Structures are given as C-alpha cells and as structure tokens.
Amino acid sequence: MTYLGQRSDTAEFRRRFRWPALFVVLVFCILIGRMFQLQVIQGADYQEAARENIIRRVTLATTRGIVRDSQGRVLASSRPSYNVYLVPLVRVERKYRCLVETESWAKLIDYMHLTAEERQRLEKKIHEMCGELFQKFEEQKKERNKKPVHVPQVLVREDVSRDIVATLETHESELRGVEVVSVPVRYYPYGDLSAHMLGYMAEIDRDMLSRLRSFGYIEGDRIGAAGVERGWESYLRGIRGWEKVIVDARNNRHAGPEAERLLDEPRRLDPVPGRDLRLTVDIELVEAIDKAMRGQIAGSAVVVDVRTGRILALYSKPSFDPNVLSGGMGKQAIRDAFRRLYADPLLPTLDKTMSGSYPPGSTFKPFSALAGLKARDDQGRKLLDPMRTIQCRGFITYGKRMFRCTHVHGPMNLRDAITESCNVYFYQLGDMVGLDALAKVALDYGFGAKTGLGVNPESHGRIPTMQWYATHFKGQFRGGFTLNAAIGQGATTVSVLQLALSYAALANGGTLYQPQLVRAIETSDGAVVQDFPPRLKRRIEIDPEHHRLILSGLYGVVNDERGTAYRERIPGVDVAGKTGTAQTSHRGVHGEDQSKIWYFNRDHAWFAGFSPFHSPEIAFAVLIEHGGVGGKAAAPVAFAAAKEYQRLVASRMVPKSPQGKPAVPWRKKGAP
Amino acid sequence: MAEEGSALMSILNQEEGGFGERIDWALFIAVALLAVIGVVNLYSATSVYTLSRADMYVSQVYFLAAGTALAILVTVIDYRHFERIAYPLYVAGLMTLVLVLALGKGIRGSSRWINLGGFGFQPSEFTKIWLILALAKYFHNSPRSEGPKLLRELTVPALLTAIPCFLVLKQPDLGTALIHGLIFLAIASLQRIKLSSLFLLGAFTVMSLPLFWLYGMKDYQKERITSFLSPENDITGAGYHAYHARIAIGNGGFLGQGFAKGSQNQYYFLPDQYSDFPFSVLAEDWGFVGSLVLLSLYAFLVLWALRIASQAKDRFGAVVAVGVGALLFWHSVFNIGMVSGLLPVVGVTLPLLSYGGSSLLTIMLGLGLLMNVSIRRPHLAQLYSRRLVFVR
C-alpha cells in the first residue's frame, strides 16, 4: 500500500461544490413548484380530467309501447332476439396467428348445428378479418403506437332459438370467445295480418338521423317506418335513461363500493317506457276478412263504426310480414324481403285502404242520386222526379259516342236504378244536373280529400269538377265526361277508406266522422293517459225523404230479387249496400310479362254498404283489385265481415246501455 | 444482521479510529426510507394486476435484499481497491454492452437485455457505475495543474464516456446514454475549465444537435420529443403516457386519493406504472404531501452525496461520491420531470421506486460506494486539524 501516501489532494475540488449544490437545490425547487402547480393549483382540473377518464354514461334502453286491439289482444310488442357473436382469439407471436380455438369452434358448430355453407362463410370471414388485424398490428409496430387494437366480433347467427341459447349457456366454459347478445326486436304476433296498419320498424337512416338527433335518436336506433308504428312513434318510443359507470382504460366496467365512490351525483336517470296504444280495430274481424279474401289475389277492406267513425278493420292484400322487415330474422332477411316486395307487381307495400285510389264505379251512384235529388232548375223546381221512370235500352248515345249499360233494364225509377245498377238512368241524371253538382255532393261526403287518419300516406282521390278540367285539360272537356262521372268512372277515383266513411255517413243520416284508429293511450301498467272521443267532421244536410229513398235502393241491392248482390246474400245477415264494377285502364309497361296482362285488364270489384239496415252499426267498403264483377267477388267478403261482426257482438254479450244504445264493444276490465 | 454487523465492525476497526459513529446514519436512514416507500408504492402500483405482476413487490424485496448485501460488501472493502480494478471493470462493462448488441432480446424495438437463466440483466445500468469508477480513477491520477484547464485535457475522460454512450445509443436507449453523458458533465464540472473552452463546447453542442436529430435518433424518439413540445396534438399516440401520468399527479391533489385508491392507476391509465411511472402512482395516492416528502428525500440524498464528496479523503472518493450523486440526481430529476410533463418522455427509472433488478442493484451498488467513501472520510477533527495545518 505504498501508493496510499501519494494520493492526490482534494483541495482543488473542495471549493467547487457550492455551485453544484445550488444547482441541485434549484432543480428540486422547480420540481416541487411543478408539483404544487399540478396538485394544488390545478388539482381540481386534473381531478375532473381523471374522473372524465373513467366515468362513462351508458344509455339505458327503454321499452317500446305495446299496441293492442280493441279487445286488448297484443298486435305489436317487443321480444328479445338472441344474436350469437364470436370474438376470435388473437395471438401475437413471432408469426401472427389468429384463430378461434379449434375445440370451441368445433363445439360451436355442433351446438348451433351450423350448416357447411355457414361454416365456410364464417371461416372465410374470420380469416379475412385476421388479415386486416395483422396489418394493423404491423402498422402499430412501425409507429410504436400503444393504442390497443380492437378485435372485432363476428356475427355467427342472428335470432337463434331459445334452445340453442340454453345449450350455449350451459356449455359456456367450453366456448371461449362466444358471446350471446340479446337485443329487443319488435314482434307482431299476427304476422302479415293488418301489417300495413301496424307498420314495421326500420333502422334509422342518416338523413332522418340528422333531423331527429335532437329528439334523442342515435345511430342504430330503430324507428317506426309505416303505419301506427310511424304515426305514433313519439308515444310508443319512450325516453332513454342513462347511468354512470366506471370504465377502465381497457373498456372493462367496474362495480362495487370502491368504484362507486368515484361516481358523482346524479348517477342515474331512469328510462321512461313508451306508451301503450289501444286501437279501435278488432283483429278478429280482420281475421274474418282475411279468411273471406282467401280466393282473391289483391284488394282491401275497411270497416268503420257508423256511430263514431272508429275504424274496426283495415285490411290490405297482398301483405308482408312486419316481423321480417323489423329485423327479427336478421339483416339479410330484411334486404331479401324488400327486394322481393318491391319487385312484386301487386304492390304489397302499398296500403290499399288509403294510399291507393281507384275508380269507384257504381258504388258512387248513391251520391250521384243525392245530387240528382237536390238539383233545382233556375226557377227552383226539382229537376228529377225519383218516381218517374226512364227507359233503359242497354245504351244511350251522347254526341257521337255510345254509352253502355250492363243490361237492358227497361223502365227504371231512381230506387230501381240503384238496386239494379242501371247506368243509363245515371247517365241521364248526370247530364241533367251537371258535373259540378255531382262533385259538390261527393266533396261533402269526404271524397277528394284526405280523411286525416294520420297513419299511412293518404291518397286524395279525385272528384273532377269543371275547374279541374279547365286547369288540367284546357278546352278538352266533353259532356260525356259528366256521364262517366255520374257512374263513378272516368277521372273519378276514391280510396277505400273514403268510401267506407262516406257510406257510414249515408247510413247514419249525414254525419261524417273523423276516422279514428287509436282509441286510447295507456301507460305500461294499463292506466289510460288519454282517451280519444269520436270527432265529428261535418253534418251533411240531407232531406229525410231523399235519405229514405237512397237507403231503400241500397237495401234492394242485397234483398231485392233483382238486386245485384242478391245471390251472394247470407240469410240472417242484415246488410244494405252497393256493388261496383269499375273498368280499369291498364297502362302496360314495356317488357312486361304478356301472359299476366289479362289480369291487370280485369275490372275492379267493389262492394260498399252498412249493416244492419235498421239502426246501422258498421259501414264497410271492399275492393277486390281486378276481381271482376262486384256482386260476385266483393260482396261475399263484405257479407262475411258483417256476419262476423254480428257474431262478435253477440258472443261478447255486450249489455245494452240504459239509453237503449248498444255500448261500445270494447270495454275496460273493471271500468264502470 | 447482527453477525454481519459485527463482522463489519471488526473490519472497520482495522481502519483509523472508532467506526461506530463513522457509519453514515443519515445516508442509511434516507435510503432505508426510500426503499420502504418504493416497496409500498410498488404494491399499490401493481395492486390492480392479478397473477405474475401482482407479486412484483415481493421480487422487489428480494432484489432489495440482494442489493443490500451487495452494498454492504462494497462498503466493507476499502474503495481504494476499487480504484485498482476500475479500468478492468470498465472494459468488462463495455464487453457486456457489445454482448447485448450481439444477442440482446428486443423489447419494444430496442434490445437492452441479456437473459441470464431466467433473469433479464440490463448491462447498461451497471455501466454507469463502471464509468464513474473509471472517471474517478482518471481524475485521481491526472496531474494537478495550476489554473483553469483547457478543453483538450478532458479528451480522455470524454472518450471514456463516449464509448459506452455510443454502445447504449446503438441499443437504442436514449435515456441511459443521456445519463452517462450527464454523469460525465457533473464530474467534469469539478474541474476548472477555461471560459473560452466552455464557449467552444457550447457552440459545438448547439451545432451538432440538428445533425443528431437527423441521423442519430429513431423515429419514435423524435416523436416523443415532438409530442412533448406540443402535447395537445397527440393525446392518444406518443403523448398518451405523459398525459395520463400528469393527470394522475394532479388527481392526487393535496392529500392524495389514499393508498392504492388512485383511479388513474387502478383503472389502467398508467401503462408501465411499476417501471417508468411509479412517481405518478405515489403522487396520486399521497398527493402533494407525498411528492414533497419523496422529492425532499432525493434532494437530501444528492446534497448529502455532494457533502460526502467535499469531505472525501482523496480525489477518487470525491469523484465517486459526485458520480453517485449525479446518478441519483439525473435519474430522479429526469423521471419526475418526465412524468410531470417538464421533460420529454425518456425511459429513465426512478431510483429505489422503479421495479427492476438491474436498476435496483446498480443504485445499491452506487449507494454502497457512497457509504464507503463516507465512512472513510477523514475524521472531522482530523479534517479541521489538517486544514489548520494547511492554513498555518
């Protein structure tokens, strides 16, 4: 240890420690100052930021209201749909591997009975997805980005049966990465029966979303797309709630007192369930109409309550299954269904009760008759004597044209002309009173204007006037147009709903009601929130004598041997009405299937009427598109509906109210 | 401990004078406090994990025990023996660095580790100590000159530093290389250097920085610095860690959220909270009070090291003490500066709080050397008497 003595002197260093020490003190003072700034001065801000990091508001789903018919039968409700998802397990090793554990995959195939086709499709999809994932991993590696890569899930199958769900849940431990997610789906127990009236649900599109975002709609929401579902969306929908939850950086949720300590008030807003709707419709009546319509390809029917204007049945054929369109069987099924529906020449998506308008044919004649009875000449004398007969020779000539009748009826008075549907009588009547007088009565009875039911888009229909011809066909008006208008042909079109309501007004002596489809709004536990009383649209002045005359004509149609619907009458069913056979002008589309054109050239068959004849309760209008003769095709459907109504009223044994009027068929349990 | 203690005493007894009061209790207590805080904090940091990471704090205790044993061993041997083997140690350290480059395992794009039978061993941590010893030896033996030195007289120590710096940068590990350089600067600051030489050095540094930016740095390193300069631009990318670490600190408030209750930590917003961000965990759990205590402890340790250096028996001891002080200083300042958003994100561990065997053993090795120098400083009386003699 000789060198120990030669150690260098430290004196040179000793004087130089003061500056470093000062530097050290200064630096630590800066750090402490920074801590003071972060933790004490800005502490509250950072605490807020920390809370924002972990507190997430999750929306709480609300339940959509239930739609019931007048007897409380559920027409539309929600049910859970179980969708099975698969999250592939991704392993990042030296070479990327992405796989569903072969064992679980095999088991999943077994439990879900996946077809070979499904298997191939899924395996391909997973393979593709993994390719994309690995690309992302590679990019991340390059960018040294630490964001976690989101592994998407693969939809295995939508709306699996409860059996399969139970099996999957039992074997949960063996099935890694398999998830069963329950989503609410609208459920229509009656399927395509009155699908047009109820409508269906569709995922909200971008346009609509931009308009409705302020009402609380978000991406992926389903919104009522037609019928009651759309018209009453705001009542049915309910209001979403929210709840604050603790979510960590990996998107896992945490519960328990330790996590809840961090939540600030208010923590939760309960969702408000949607309102239930009680419709005026009786689904049993609709079922009866459907049954009666079995032989027909396309058509529609409306039954209304004569005394209130409440709709008892709305029926449009062909129909569609709203369960499929609402997503109950998966998204692919929705697309397929729409493709099929839009390709169908019978227009199944069209609500033929109100969205379409048709020439009414002879069902229009009672209104022409009323116009004739009201008509006065310049001196105020009656133009038409209803008892005076007109000779029907099967046609008349007007100008250079010949206007045909169905038969050679011989001498006809007004009542007989309605009963036997004589065109010649009405041609002459029309010629006598003129187009505008015909139109005035028709407009009074609600034709040519929307009824305001507010469910589906409504057609105005068309009641031609001189004004209308002047604007649309300037200078082309011919007197023959008036003749056609008098028998409900030519430019005249009506919707089935309009016709039913106008016959209701005929039946009740001139009271035109605002049609009603929703009887009441109720809470989910059955309490009535709002009840809708019948609403009068207008009272139509009608001479009781005229009224009696028209009604007796309508009575004869069914009950007189010469009546056009006499042969189809059902004994014991008290009905009065009018048949109609409306000529159609089919406008061919290029490239159309020629073998089917004959169908579209057939006449529309109509029957409109009311029942029972004395003290009427219901009015109805039935249209069989291209059904041929009204008496043969449409009348049986109307009679079947009237018969079913009688049966229903009898079976429910609705007691007569003290005033002697029958009470409303629908009555709440426990209500006085 | 009792046996060890008595063995220690018997060895110390052979040295000059009474030893009992020679053990640097202030240093010992400060280190012990930090070690305890470190383990407790590590428990909080890893309390969110299950399985292997959950008992990190147990491994940390083992590492601490091993480190303490190493420190005692180092303390007991007179540091003059280390002076003798300083250069061989230095060369051996360099060789381990070369070895790392040859067969290192990649972790996040850089290879820093050698696998030693299950243990990851990070040579670049230890190189700092070997560098301190080598520099100490150089300055110890360099001839004493009157007046300020010229810059070129620092060429050899600069080279001694540059070689490991270069090898570490190659890994690449910017933080550790930086620490090497800064330790050198701290030690060199003990020398008096001509003012003009300093200016020259400054000018050279400023000019070489852009070149270094263009050619010397990896993309991710650049990204860290750009994201530091404009943190709001990129909260989800490279700035993510720094941003959430800062929120965690602020979330602590004055008194803290309570032990193992910090939400930023508990809900995984602090990645690597056990290695790079233990300070945010501590600051979130214990608030400003906790950070103040910890910063004070570090400040005390560094100042104490300077004090030991100033009283060291010889130049070697002084340089070693300054080197260890600088090691503690730069590590703690860089780490805390980084997590509090004052400095860009460079992966530098926090002495005694970060999890990791190599880091912990290195720090304990350094603290052992510091204690060694402290114990062997001339007795105060001796010091004063010598000074008296000198003055006379």
pLDDT 10s digits, B316-338:
999 999 999 999 999 999 999 98
pLDDT at A94 over 50: no
Radius of gyration from C-alpha coordinates of chain A = 37
pLDDT at B15 over 80: no
Best mutation site among B82, B220, B236, B249 for testing chain A: the one with the most A CBs within 10 Å?
B249
Residue B379 pLDDT level (bands cut at 50, 70, 90): low
Neighboring chain A residues of B264 at a CB cutoff of 8 Å: 50, 53
Q: What is the C-alpha separation between B154 and B99, in angstroms, rounded?
A: 28
Q: Find, in chain A, the residue whose alpha carbon is nearest to that of B304.
A: A21
B249 touches chain A (CB under 8 A): yes
The verdict on a CB contact (< 8 Å) between A46 and B251 is: yes
Model confidence pLDDT, tens digit, residues A213-270: 888 888 878 899 999 999 999 999 988 888 888 888 777 778 877 777 788 778 888 9
B248 touches chain A (CB under 8 A): yes
Q: What is the C-alpha separation between B199 and B3, in angstroms, rounded?
A: 55
Return the structure tokens found at B265.
Answer: 């930590």
Residue A40 pLDDT level (bands cut at 50, 70, 90): very high
Residue A33 pLDDT level (bands cut at 50, 70, 90): very high
A36 touches chain B (CB under 8 A): yes
Return the structure tokens found at B381.
Answer: 């009386």
pLDDT at B233 over 70: no
The verdict on a CB contact (< 8 Å) between A47 and B253 is: yes
> Domain check: are A257 and A397 in the same one?
no
> Domain check: are A262 and A405 in the same one?
no
User: Does some domain include residue A232?
Assistant: no
A59 touches chain B (CB under 8 A): no
Q: Does A588 or A387 have the greater pLDDT score? A: A387
Which is nearest to A262 in space by CA: B48, B251, B270?
A: B251
pLDDT the model gives residue B135:
93
pLDDT at B165 over 60: yes
A53 closest CB neighbour out of B141, B269, B309 = B269
Domain count, chain A: 2
User: Does some domain include residue B192?
Assistant: yes
pLDDT the model gives residue A322:
92
Domain count, chain B: 1
pLDDT the model gives residue A444:
93
Q: Of chain B residues 372-391, which have a CB less than 8 A from chain A?
A: 390
CATH of the domain at A407: 3.40.710.10
How far B161 CA lies from chain A's nearest CA (Å)? Answer: 20
Strand duo A201-203 + A178-187: pairing: unpaired
For tokens 């000789």, the residue is: A2
pLDDT at A654 over 80: no
Q: A58 in helix, strand or coil?
A: strand
Q: Find, in chain B, the residue whose alpha carbon is nearest to that of A3.
A: B80
> Domain check: are A253 and A311 in the same one?
no
How far B89 CA lies from chain A's nearest CA (Å)? Answer: 20
Return the structure tokens found at A77.
Answer: 């409700």
User: Does some domain include residue A302?
Assistant: yes
Q: Does B1 or B136 have the greater pLDDT score? A: B136
Q: Does B19 or B157 have the greater pLDDT score? A: B157
pLDDT the model gives residue B41:
93
> Domain check: are A250 and A392 in the same one?
no
> Domain check: are A297 and A389 in the same one?
yes
> Domain check: are A247 and A368 in the same one?
no
User: Does some domain include residue B177?
Assistant: yes
How far A74 CA lies from chain B's nearest CA (Å)? Answer: 47
A54 closest CB neighbour out of B263, B307, B317 = B263
Q: Of chain B residues 90-129, which have a CB less than 8 A from chain A?
A: 108-109
Residue A103 pLDDT level (bands cut at 50, 70, 90): low
User: Does some domain include residue A509?
Assistant: yes
pLDDT the model gives residue B354:
92
> Domain check: are A258 and A379 in the same one?
no
A146 closest CB neighbour out of B271, B299, B342 = B271
> Domain check: are A464 and A577 in the same one?
yes
Q: State phi, psi for A666 to the nearest 5 degrees.
A: -85, 135
* End-to-end Cα, chain A, rounded Å: 119
Give the best-scoring range by mean pLDDT among A5-9, A112-116, A167-171, A277-281.
A277-281
Neighboring chain A residues of B322 at a CB cutoff of 8 Å: 20
Q: What is the C-alpha separation between B75 and A371, in angstroms, rounded?
A: 124
User: Does some domain include residue A206?
Assistant: no
Q: What is the C-alpha separation between A9 and B313, in angstroms, rounded?
A: 8
The verdict on a CB contact (< 8 Å) between A147 and B190 is: no
Q: What is the C-alpha separation between A277 and A520, in angstroms, rounded?
A: 6
pLDDT the model gives residue A124:
83
What average pLDDT does the structure give for chain A? 85
Which is nearest to A646 in space by CA: A565, A572, A577, A559?
A: A572
pLDDT the model gives residue A670:
44
Residue B382 pLDDT level (bands cut at 50, 70, 90): low
* Domain coverage including residue A388: 283-317+354-524+533-585+597-652
A615 touches chain B (CB under 8 A): no
Return the structure tokens found at B126.
Answer: 């230890």
Residues with Cβ within 8 Å of A632's Cβ and at least 6 positions away in sequence, in order, are: A568, A605
pLDDT at B216 over 60: yes
Give the best-scoring range by mean pLDDT among B3-12, B65-74, B215-224.
B65-74
Q: What is the C-alpha separation between A503 and A517, in angstroms, rounded?
A: 18
A262 closest CB neighbour out of B252, B254, B263 = B263
The burial of B19, by beta-carbon neighbours within 10 Å (0-12 exposed, 13-18 middle, 19 or more buried), is given as middle
> Average of pLDDT values for A531-540?
93
User: Does some domain include residue A7?
Assistant: no
User: Does some domain include residue B386?
Assistant: no
The CA distances from residue A266 to A171, A251, A252, A263, in Å, are 40, 22, 22, 8
The ipTM is 0.89
pLDDT the model gives residue A558:
92
> Domain check: are A260 and A293 in the same one?
no
Neighboring chain B residues of A11 at a CB cutoff of 8 Å: 390
Q: What is the C-alpha separation between A129 and A3, in angstroms, rounded?
A: 73
User: Does some domain include residue A174?
Assistant: no
> Domain check: are A400 and A438 in the same one?
yes
User: Does some domain include residue B390?
Assistant: no
pLDDT the model gives residue A2:
35
Model confidence pLDDT, tens digit, residues A323-377: 999 887 778 888 999 999 988 888 899 999 999 999 999 999 999 999 999 988 8
* Domain coverage including residue B67: 24-374
> Domain check: are A471 and A576 in the same one?
yes
> Average of pLDDT values for A100-128?
79
> Average of pLDDT values for A277-305?
94
Percent of chain A with pLDDT over 90: 47
Which alpha helices (H) appear in chain B, and where do they start and end?
Answer: 2-14, 25-46, 56-76, 79-103, 123-141, 155-170, 174-188, 195-211, 219-229, 240-252, 263-266, 278-310, 315-339, 357-375, 380-391
A10 closest CB neighbour out of B298, B312, B342 = B312
pLDDT the model gives residue B272:
73
> Domain check: are A250 and A373 in the same one?
no
pLDDT at B146 over 70: no
Percent of chain B with pLDDT over 70: 80
User: Does some domain include residue B385?
Assistant: no
The answer to whether the CB of B158 falls within 8 A of the CB of B184 is: yes
